[in-house]
Structure 1
Amino acid sequence: MTEGSLKRVFSYLILGSVVGFAAWPHAIWLAPFALLLLPVVNRRYWVAPFLVMLGYHLATTNGLIHGTDVFFPHAGLWLGIGFWMGSSCLFAMPYLAYPYLYLYFRGGGRGALAATMITSIFSTIIPPLGVIGWTSPWIGALPTGWGGILVVLMLIYGLGRWEENKMTAFLVAAMCLSAYLWTPFVLGVWGVPVRPASPALPAGWVSIDTDYGELSNISYVTTSLRLVPQVLKDLESGDRVVLLPEGIAGPWLPGTRAIWQPVLQYTAKHPSTTVLLGADVLSGRQKYVDALIQMHDGKEKILPDRIPVPFSMWHPWVPRNSFRMHVFGNPELATVDGVRVGYLICYEQLLVWPALGIWHSGVQVLLAPADVWWARWTSIPAIQLVSVDAWARFLGVPVLRAVNL
């Protein structure tokens, strides 16, 4: 490779990484700019769309390096670097087809729009890459609603027509860009109160955050013994719904169930109360489901997740103690206190695919339990937070979070 080619490669990598660093987690409305770059760079270098998106994902997922090192200390730093670089390459891989799709759809605006839509959907939305495809650029457009998504699509179309009619393309791009930048969401970020606040949570809905860090089998018991009196105190004070973090009770076995029996009995005597407890529910031989235990009216109901974290929780090559992956399972919906809720458990808050299952279901509250002790010194918890906020604004519903750090 010549020196000129190397410079060109690095320039596109840096271009994508600048957008990624700027967008996540502090200004996610900038994330769609990674998509807007594609029809522009595609005309200059056939591999440019791949390099731009590779740079974007390298910038947004760098928290994997430290997070993996904490979670798998025996593996050393290299495993984290491998996950970071490998996943970023996988996310960007569909964009190698971008130039060919552009030509197949006869180039111009139509070709740019089709190529961008197809490659981005396969990159971070639908499985199999949708199972690991976090920091999707489309999440940045969600807080502006369908209008913001439409503006991004029109911008892509306009930029794709640049060679056909520069004046038309410029006017379309300028108008769309102005509309996108001056949406109520962005103005709200800048302090201009033009958008109503997100709906308030129902009265009496609370969560309990913890800072217990990594838990072992013994500390799960200790944690439960500490939390049960706190939950009962909240319920006795008049709270109706209490949400706890993901997996905070550990394996849901007879001993754990016995510790939480006073809470279950309380809900039997007070049927207007509900407790949602994160636990690992046994499913088959030595397999688990990452779930919420819904305690209500003296009964338990399992609310399972669909997509646990690959490698650390879901590892089918070693089935023992692996969590169940159910990519095409039922939408994560439930009725709590007479309210229709959707729930995204920890890792799912980073993805698009699980949220697509609940966006059309008329949910009124979004539940977001998480356990992020392993990533506390990275950008991952903040990215989770803004991802959930983006979906909540898109759905027009409040969020109830519970996090263990």
Structure 2
Amino acid sequence: MRHDRFQPVPLIAVSIVAGIVGWSGHILLLPTALAFPILWARAQTRWVAALVSAGYFLAASRGLPQGVATFYSSDLWPGLLLWLCASVSFVGVHTALWTKRSRVRPYHYLAAMVLMAFPPLGIIGWAHPVTAAGILFPGWGWWGLAATTAGLMGLVTRMWPAVMIAFAGFWLWSAATWTGPHLPDGWQGVDLEMGSSLGRDTSIQRHRDLIATVKVHGVGGSPMIVLPESALGFWTPSVERLWVKALEETDVTAVTGATTVDAAGYDNVLVAISATDARVLYRERMPVPGSMWQPWRTWFGQSGGARAHFFANPIVDLGSARGAPLICYEQLIVWPVLQSMLDDPDLIIAVGNGWWTRGTSIVAIQHASAIAWAKLFAKPLVFSFNT
């Protein structure tokens, strides 16, 4: 009786450890997240399954309260509230689909994985264990994703020790032979340390500084230079003319973040600028829910907030290259990268503006996630972040 009473405690404790370690931002520790389905399956009651799910998800997303407090220059309470609200989908799905029936449990867990990978619930499908596929099966592509999915289903059966041993073998082999994704030829990502001023300081001098940065990095033989999310601030005809004129007599193309605004709201975009023209290259499919994407505004006849383009523009064309853009939040969820991989792009372009994450592991987790997907599908990867 005493054993049964305290059995949930170690399950919950280990789920918290799995969330912390697996989502620490260290790429080779991502497979630690595979412990979650084992713990979920070993729960004796639905209530314990809920606590295990909450422990894992809240631990994995532990940087959110501090990040929100920094972004809004507030205390921790708004961030804590958002943190708890964000866990509702993950915990609710895994609680509802938990079952004692071992024969159907793998299919229930498969349903949970799918629900948390695609909209609408996948909109906040952070910390998805399937992300570890890139570490376990680098270069396997869709076969690696299928193997990881099948293995995750196996982890909720009585055969979980054998599946775990197999996963551990692939993990150790990958760790022993690990190399990061390579930078695509002719591309260079520029990391900036401009803090909250990037995208907010729209002075001519700031634009001149960014243009100079692009030109300096272009001198080394990289004609494609990537700048972080929101680097240009508002994308206007005046900004377009300034940049196009400044890049005259160069072979450089700048791929950079910006914001386009109209009466209904705004788009978080990437633009491509060269000596001959400039165009909006990509509109973010999934902005950050709550702080950027606020669909409830339309319910009350209000405008504002970032638009979510969900399944639009998964691939962009840049000369002879086809890229899969991932802006900031899109690196933390599953469906944007999988949708892009369906079109077999030549490279992944990952940008972000993470000044508000200082003191957390959020940017490191974004890097780890993007690297994992790039390794799984054997794609070159270019990063550009502001901190």
Indicate the TM-score class for this superposition, using the shorter chain for normalisation.
Answer: 0.7 to 0.9
Does 2:113 correspond to 1:120? yes
Which runs of structure 2 are paired with 1:173-188 in the superposition (5 Å)? 173-183=160-170, 185-188=171-174
Contact kept? 1:112, 1:157, Cα under 8 Å: no
Give, in angstroms, the shift of residue 308 of structure 1: 0.7
Q: Please tell me the residue identity of whatever aligns with 2:82.
A: F
Give CA deviations for 1:230-286 in whole Å, capped at 9, x if unaligned.
21233344321100000011011233224313345346xx4xx4210110012x315
Give CA deviations for 1:69-125 in whole Å, capped at 9, x if unaligned.
011124x211011111121232211112223xx46xxx33x4121011112322x21
Does 2:54 correspond to 1:54? yes
Could you say what the CA RMSD is over the residues aligned between the two structures, in angstroms?
A: 2.6
Percent identity at matched positions? 28
- Report which of the two structures shows the higher radius of gyration computed on alpha carbons: 1
User: 1:135–1:155: structure 2 CA closer, same or farther, 3 Å change rule?
Assistant: closer
Gaps of 5+ in 1: 163-168
Partner of 1:95: 94
Give CA deviations for 1:178-202 in whole Å, capped at 9, x if unaligned.
221111x53343xx23x6x455333
Does 2:256 correspond to 1:289? no
In structure 1, distance between residues paired with 2:312 and 2:145:
29
Give, in angstroms, the shift of residue 363 of structure 1: 1.2
User: 1:323–1:97: structure 2 CA closer, same or farther, 3 Å change rule?
Assistant: same
Partner of 2:290: 311
Partner of 2:278: 300
Give, in angstroms, the shift of residue 394 of structure 1: 1.2
User: 1:299–1:260: structure 2 CA closer, same or farther, 3 Å change rule?
Assistant: same
In structure 2, distance between residues paired with 1:6 and 1:312:
41
User: 1:376–1:335: structure 2 CA closer, same or farther, 3 Å change rule?
Assistant: same
In structure 2, distance between residues paired with 1:308 and 1:393:
24
User: 1:151–1:237: structure 2 CA closer, same or farther, 3 Å change rule?
Assistant: closer
Aligned residues: 373
Give, in angstroms, the shift of residue 144 of structure 1: 2.4
Which runs of structure 2 are paired with 1:200-239 in the superposition (5 Å)? 200-215=182-197, 219-221=201-203, 222-239=205-222
Which runs of structure 2 are paired with 1:53-202 in the superposition (5 Å)? 53-74=53-74, 76-99=75-98, 102=99, 107-108=101-102, 110-122=103-115, 124-145=116-137, 146-147=143-144, 149-150=146-147, 153-154=150-151, 156-157=153-154, 159-160=156-157, 162=158, 169=159, 173-183=160-170, 185-189=171-175, 192-193=176-177, 197=179, 200-202=182-184
Determine which structure has greater relative contact order: mean sequence separation of CA pairs < 8 Å that are 6+ residues apart, divided by chain length: 2
Q: Please tell me the residue identity of whatever aligns with 1:235.
A: G
Does 2:37 correspond to 1:35? yes
Secondary structure in 2 aligned to 1:182?
A: helix
Give CA deviations for 1:353-379 in whole Å, capped at 9, x if unaligned.
211211221112110011000002101
In structure 1, distance between residues paired with 2:126 and 2:155:
27
In structure 1, distance between residues paired with 2:130 and 2:91:
15
